Amino acid sequence: MSVEMTLLVWAVALTFVQVVISAAGANLQVGLPALAGNRESVPPLEGWAGRAQRAHRNMLENLVLFVALVLVAQIAGKTNAVTALGAEVFFWARVVYVPVYLIGIAWVRTAVWGVSVVGLLLIFLQLV
């Protein structure tokens, strides 16, 4: 399996870890009965639980782009050292993003997100 596809699998695993963290935070803050209901009266999550939820949503938004780029590169036979580097940059930046966001380091979080976007751009530029 290519580096890009391997990191895609690991990015999905990271997303799953994030949903578990987010769910645990929500459960601690509002309780399982509220979460198991229709969630119409669940208050917004605060503190680390809210940050975990937002980090997970951000990962989902970025994962869509990563999946599309990696699959197109793979199917088109355009994988190379640059696409592998892009996948590595994206993945490791996303690994760093989780604890930085959970801790609440705002400007660093934004910078780390920017690094992950550079990874996406590296892959994109090999496709156009």
Separation CA 109–CA 1 (nearest Å): 31
Other residues' Cβ atoms within 10 Å of the Cβ of residue 13: 10
With tokens 């949903």, the residue in question is 19
Domain limits at 47? Answer: 3-127
Please give the pLDDT value at position 21.
97
- Residue 121: is its pLDDT beyond 90? yes
Mark 59-84 as b/e (b = at least 16 C-beta within 10 Å).
Answer: beebbeebeebbeebbeeeebeeebb
Render pLDDT for 64-114 as a digit per residue (tens, 0 to 9): 999 999 999 999 999 999 999 999 999 999 999 999 999 999 999 999 999
Mean pLDDT, residues 9-15: 98
Count of domains observed in the chain: 1
Take residue 121 and report the two structure tokens written for it: 């751009």
Rounded to a whole number of angstroms, the CA Rg of the chain reads 16
Please give the pLDDT value at position 124.
98
Render pLDDT for 22-75 as a digit per residue (tens, 0 to 9): 999 999 988 887 888 887 888 888 999 999 999 999 999 999 999 999 999 999
CATH code, 81:
1.20.120.550
Please give the pLDDT value at position 38.
81
